[in-house]
Amino acid sequence: MLMPLDMLQAGEWAEVAEVTGQPAWVGRLAELGIRQGCRLQVVQPGSPCLLNVSGCKLCLRGGECSQILVRPVGE
């Protein structure tokens, strides 16, 4: 089941299924480690949203999180 990243709660893990939006935006997120198949954890939901991506913390605004479709997974 796919859902926007901003629907996850604190502590939940997910696998990125798709990143939508302008090509430059999608490319920038890929440079930061958010690309199809990567796993991430929501540290703090909301706006701004704080994520753990490959051991690094990344902060995104709420609207940006809705462009990232994820599949929730266990740790």
> Residue ranges per domain, the chain?
3-73
Query: Which residues, other chains included, contact 52 with Cβ-Cβ below 8 Å and sequence gap of 6+?
Result: 40, 41, 42, 43, 58
Q: What is the mean pLDDT of the chain?
A: 93
Mean pLDDT within 5-16: 95
Residue 75: per-residue pLDDT: 65
Q: What is the CATH number of domain 3-73?
A: 2.30.30.90
- Please check the confidence at residue 5 and state whether its pLDDT lies above 70: yes
